[in-house]
């Protein structure tokens, strides 16, 4: 056993201990130790993934046979190492944050359970990525889903959370069902459960492709299978939301990539389907995010958008590869993977900060917040870093991956097929619209939450969260900036050179120029201009009141008007009048309601159909022995007939 394997085993053992310890010794210190163990394991994984990515050396693990004919094997190549790196980048921040955050749970038992499940969840996600065959993949996939389900249900007493849990459970079961179908059809084709090269014609692989695309798409939150995200994220503890959004969605993307990259001859319509699905998710995700005022729901929708961008990159990869443009294909694929990594960092940062805000103010609605930058300056600074990264401002990391995808689009003039070119122009404009809307979205989120006057008492009385939580947030924040600045160095280290602009130079120049401006203003005699503090101009009103400020929904109003066709707002109003002729207005209410399009036209009809069918089926179950014997008799008769005539 070489050092490389030892690192992995060390990490796994640390996580197992982290899972078991809080069950054995139930105290605050054990919980602390448990999170320290997950922190420690991520350091080991960081070393492991870095080495594998840098050297390209693939470690070998022995197989464990646990059922006749079924082995569980572990394997790691550069693809899995990339996603292990992602896990190792997110977990340290979440672990340190959780040390303090888990103590806010309602009872001792819940604190312990949350610790145990968080560790188990991390372990399961790691094992899914490490799994060398379908058996291990599916087993740990289920553990991952169930542990996260229990974390979503951790506060099971509220009605809203129960609904969220059931929704998540149904969607994740559906995802697993599709994965099973996909894997079984692959198994029938190859006769082995190993992940290997699939040298088959694309027409044979159509069924597995569609099943796996839908299965992984549900878990990753691709439109129209995205509905569970905005339910599950607000219900789960924020540290778990950070893991779910940061890592779990990426594990689904890993699974999809694992399949896609092993197919030797895919077809062009696969790429087109993935590209269209991705673009649609991206644009609808951000448009739906815009109408939300619940900070965690908003971030959940933003995850849908980012997953869309990642799938866009994967679709581009497939199209470029099949058209023989290897360079552009690699650029898109690495761009998509890098975006997955970046999204893991800034989304976990934003969810952790959201957790701090919810803890400090007791509300998730940003309409009730405001002015937090004065009360929680450190959280505000960290949240600003997250917003800047996700909005794709240079030189932060979110910009770099978007830049790579934009660059791939811009060079697509090398494509031969004119129809593909037209498709790429359309998706490029959708991508551009998406990225601009994200900037607008995070101006709204940061501006309404942190700036101006507090809108309610709970925001006014907020105080800064304790140091461990801030440190936990600081890790992904620092990584966001560093992985942006050193993006070229990091990609070059792992053997990718695309000639993209060097963010380190641009970042340094930006800081330099801003410093130059500052010094210029200071040293040219203008420093002595007096300063004065005076109330914001309010058209003659003496003291400013928070109700004068722009609200979250007010901020979104122009976009809601522009995208009316998508939001389809329903406005209903009631009015009463003081006179009989209805001239003098007395009182009234107006309601703006946004219908839930997918729920209304896709989810509910499907659920309704399933209900009707199960009602019909349940009529066959009357609980009498005679009836069941009769059913068996019919079944035997049918079988006999079938074998006689058809087999």
Partner 1 sequence: MNASFLLFTLLNTGFILLVSPFFMSLIKKVKAYVQGRKGPKLLQSYFDLRKLMQKEVVYSPNSSIIMRITPYLNLGALLLATLFVPVVFIPNAPAGIGNVIVFLYLLVIERFFTSLSGLDSGSAFGGMGSSRLMSLSAVIEPTMIIAFAALAYVLKTVNFHEMFAITAGSTIPESPTLSLISISLFIIIIVETGRIPVDNPATHLELTMINEAMILEQSGKNLALIELAHAIKQTILMAILINTLAPFGLATELTFTGIVISCFYFLVKASLLAGLIGLFESSIAKMRLFRLPGFYMMAFFFSALTILMEVFI
Where in 398-437 is the site for partner 1 (CB under 8 A)? 399, 402-403, 406-407, 409-411, 413, 418, 421-422, 425, 428-433, 435-437
In a 13 Å sphere around the CA of 72, the CA atoms on its Cβ side amount to 12
Distance between CA atoms of residues 267 and 399, nearest Å: 31
Q: How far is the CB of 172 from partner 1 (least distance, A)?
A: 33
Taking the least distance from each CB to partner 1, the nearer of 422 and 640 is 422
Rg (CA), the chain: 27
Asked whether 56 and 78 are in contact (CB, 8 A), the reply is yes
Cα 38 versus chain centre, distance: 21
Task: For residues 607 and 596, give the distance between their C-alpha atoms in angstroms, rounded to a whole number.
Answer: 15
Q: Report the site for partner 1 in 142-201 (rule: CB under 8 A).
A: none
Of 207 and 440, CB closest to partner 1: 440
Residue with smaller CB distance to partner 1, 557 or 599: 557
Name the minimum Å distance from CB 234 to partner 1: 24
Task: Write out the binding residues for partner 1, residues 452-471 only, by CB under 8 A.
Answer: 452-453
- 505 is an interface residue for partner 1 by CB under 8 A: yes
- CA–chain centroid gap for 2, Å, is 35
Torsion angle in degrees (nearest 10) through CA of 229, 218, 240, 27? 130
Q: b/e for 585-623, b at 16 or more Cβ within 10 A?
A: eeeeeeeeeeeeebeeeebeeeeeeeeeeeeeeeeeeee
Of the two residues 176 and 544, which places its CB atom closer to partner 1 in the complex?
544
- Give the residue with the Cβ less far from partner 1, 34 or 407: 407
CB of 529 to partner 1, least distance (A): 6
Residues 8-37 that bind partner 1 (CB under 8 A): none
Nearer to partner 1, 410 or 645 (CB): 410
486 contact partners, CB below 8 Å, separation of at least 6: 503, 504
| Nearer CB in complex with partner 1: 92/447 | 447
Q: Is there a contact between 283 and 434 (Cβ–Cβ < 8 Å)? A: yes
The token duo for 561 is 């008007």
Among 159, 535, 579, 587, which residue sits at the site for partner 1 (rule: CB under 8 A)?
535
Whether the CB-CB separation of 448 and 552 falls below 8 Å is answered with yes
Residue 424 and residue 479: Cα distance in Å, rounded? 32
Q: Give me the helix-helix angle, 78-101 and 249-262, nearest 10°.
A: 170
- The span of 131-139, 319-327, 502-510, 583-591 binding partner 1 (CB under 8 A) equals 502-510
Residue from 439, 478, 482, 566 that binds partner 1 (CB under 8 A)?
Answer: 439
DSSP string computed for 322-354: HTT-HHHHHHHHHHHHHHHHHHHHHHHHHHHHH
Tell whether residue 517 is a contact of partner 1 (CB under 8 A). yes
Is 223 near partner 1 (CB under 8 A)?
Answer: no
- Rule CB under 8 A: is residue 64 a binding residue for partner 1? no
Q: Which residues, in sequence order, are CB contacts of 530 under 8 Å at separation 6+? A: none
Q: Which is nearer to partner 1, 428 or 475 (by Cβ)?
A: 428
Please select the residue that binds partner 1; options are 513, 606, 613, 637, rule is CB under 8 A.
Answer: 513
Handedness of CA 215, 217, 221, 222 (dihedral sign): negative
| Residue 560 vs 602, nearer CB to partner 1 | 560
Instruction: Give the contact letters, 259-298, x = binds to partner 1 (CB under 8 A), - = no.
Output: ----------------------------------------
Interacting residues with partner 1 between 544 and 603 (CB under 8 A)? 544, 546, 548-550, 554-559, 561-562
Question: By rule CB under 8 A, what count of residues binds partner 1?
Answer: 80
Per CB under 8 A, does 540 bind partner 1?
no
Number of CB atoms found within 10 A of residue 454's CB: 20
Closest to 567 measured CA to CA, from 220, 333, 287? 287
Cβ closest to partner 1, residue 159 vs residue 535:
535
Site for partner 1 in 102-121 (CB under 8 A): none
447 forms part of the interface with partner 1 (CB under 8 A) = yes
- From the list 538, 569, 588, 595, which residue makes contact with partner 1 (rule: CB under 8 A)? 538
201, 204, 514, 640: which one binds partner 1 (CB under 8 A) = 514
- Compute the least distance from the CB of residue 441 to partner 1, in Å: 9
Asked if 69 touches partner 1 (CB under 8 A), the answer is: no
Min separation Cβ 411 and partner 1, Å = 7
- Per DSSP, 66 falls in state E
Query: In whole angstroms, how close is the CB of 104 to partner 1 at the nearest point?
Result: 27
561/629 with CB nearer partner 1: 561
Cβ contacts of residue 616 below 8 Å, gap of 6+? Answer: none
Closest Cα partner for 260 from 194, 339, 315, 178? 315
Give the residue with the Cβ less far from partner 1, 489 or 575. Answer: 489
Among 181, 202, 510, 602, binds partner 1 (CB under 8 A): 510
From candidates 518, 601, 631, 633, binder to partner 1 by CB under 8 A: 518
Residue of the chain from 1, 23, 521, 606 that contacts partner 1 (CB under 8 A): 521
- CA dist 322 and 524 (Å) reads 60
Six-digit token pair at 403?
């830049």
Window 345-384: residues binding partner 1 (CB under 8 A): 370-371, 373-374
Type and span of the H or E element at 607: helix 604-618
Which has the closest alpha carbon to 434: 290, 588, 269?
290
Closer to partner 1 by Cβ: residue 49 or 441: 441
Burial of 206 (C-beta count, 10 Å sphere; 0-12/13-18/19+): middle
Binding to partner 1, residues 471-500 (CB under 8 A): 499-500
User: Quick one: which of 43, 70, 170, 451 contacts partner 1 (CB under 8 A)?
Assistant: 451
Least distance in angstroms from the C-beta of 97 to partner 1? 24
Q: How far apart are CA 226 and CA 241, in angstroms?
A: 15
Q: Interface with partner 1 includes 537 (CB under 8 A)?
A: yes
Nearest Cα neighbor of 47 from 75, 73, 11 is: 11
Q: Which is nearer to partner 1, 58 or 557 (CB)?
A: 557
């Amino acid at each position: 056993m070489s050092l490389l394997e030892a690192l992995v085993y060390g990490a796994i053992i640390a996580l197992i201990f982290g899972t078991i310890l809080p069950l054995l010794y139930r105290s605050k210190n054990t919980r602390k130790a448990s999170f320290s163990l997950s922190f420690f394991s991520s350091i080991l994984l960081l070393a492991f993934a870095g080495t594998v990515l840098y050297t390209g050396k693939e470690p070998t693990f022995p197989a464990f046979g646990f059922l006749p004919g079924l082995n569980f094997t572990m394997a790691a190549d550069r693809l899995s190492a990339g996603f292990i790196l992602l896990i190792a980048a997110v977990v340290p921040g979440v672990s340190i944050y959780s040390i303090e955050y888990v103590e806010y749970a309602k009872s001792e038992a819940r604190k312990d359970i949350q610790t145990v499940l968080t560790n188990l969840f991390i372990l399961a996600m790691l094992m899914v990525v490490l799994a060398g065959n379908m058996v291990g993949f599916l087993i740990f996939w289920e553990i991952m889903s169930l542990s996260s389900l229990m974390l979503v249900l951790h506060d099971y007493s509220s009605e809203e959370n129960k609904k969220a849990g059931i929704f998540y459970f149904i969607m994740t079961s559906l995802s697993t069902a599709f994965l099973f179908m996909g894997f079984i059809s692959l198994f029938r084709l190859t006769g082995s459960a190993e992940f290997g090269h699939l040298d088959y014609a694309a027409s044979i692989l159509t069924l597995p492709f569609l099943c796996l695309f839908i299965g992984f798409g549900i878990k990753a939150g691709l439109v129209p299978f995205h509905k569970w995200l905005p339910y599950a994220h607000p219900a789960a503890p924020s540290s778990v939301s950070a893991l779910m959004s940061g890592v779990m969605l990426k594990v689904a993307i890993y699974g999809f990539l694992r399949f896609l990259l092993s197919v030797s001859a895919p077809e062009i319509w696969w790429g087109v389907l993935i590209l269209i699905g991705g673009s649609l998710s991206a644009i609808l995700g951000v448009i739906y995010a815009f109408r939300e005022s619940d900070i965690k729901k908003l971030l959940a929708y933003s995850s849908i958008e980012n997953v869309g961008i990642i799938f866009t990159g994967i679709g581009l990869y497939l199209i470029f590869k099949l058209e023989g443009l290897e360079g552009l294909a690699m650029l898109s694929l690495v761009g998509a993977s890098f975006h997955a990594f970046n999204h893991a960092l800034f989304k976990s940062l934003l969810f952790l900060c959201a957790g701090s805000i919810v803890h400090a103010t007791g509300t998730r609605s940003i309409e009730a917040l405001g002015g937090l930058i004065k009360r929680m300056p450190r959280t505000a600074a960290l949240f600003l870093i997250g917003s800047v990264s996700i909005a794709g401002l240079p030189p932060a990391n979110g910009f770099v991956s978007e830049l790579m995808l934009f660059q791939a689009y811009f060079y697509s003039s090398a494509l031969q097929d004119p129809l593909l070119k037209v498709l790429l122009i359309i998706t490029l404009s959708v991508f551009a619209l998406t990225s601009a809307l994200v900037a607008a979205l995070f101006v709204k989120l940061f501006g309404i939450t942190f700036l101006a006057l507090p809108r309610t008492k709970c925001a006014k009385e907020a105080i800064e969260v304790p140091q461990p939580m801030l440190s936990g947030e600081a890790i992904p924040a620092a990584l966001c900036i560093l992985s942006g600045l050193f993006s070229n160095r990091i990609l070059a280290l792992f053997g990718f050179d695309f000639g993209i602009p060097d963010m380190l130079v641009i970042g340094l120049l930006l800081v330099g120029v801003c410093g130059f401006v500052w010094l210029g203003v200071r040293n040219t005699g203008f420093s002595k201009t007096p300063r004065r503090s005076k109330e914001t101009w309010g058209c003659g009103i003496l003291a400013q009141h928070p109700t004068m400020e722009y609200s979250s929904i007010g901020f979104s109003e122009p976009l809601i008007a522009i995208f009316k066709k998508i939001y389809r707002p329903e406005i209903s109003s009631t009015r009463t009048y003081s006179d009989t002729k209805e001239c003098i207005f007395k009182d009234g209410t107006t309601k703006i309601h946004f219908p839930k399009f997918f729920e209304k036209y896709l989810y509910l009809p499907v659920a309704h159909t399933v209900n009707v069918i199960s009602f019909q089926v349940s009529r066959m179950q009357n609980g009498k022995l005679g009836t069941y014997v009769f059913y068996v008799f019919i079944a035997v008769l049918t079988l006999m007939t079938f074998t006689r005539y058809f087999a």
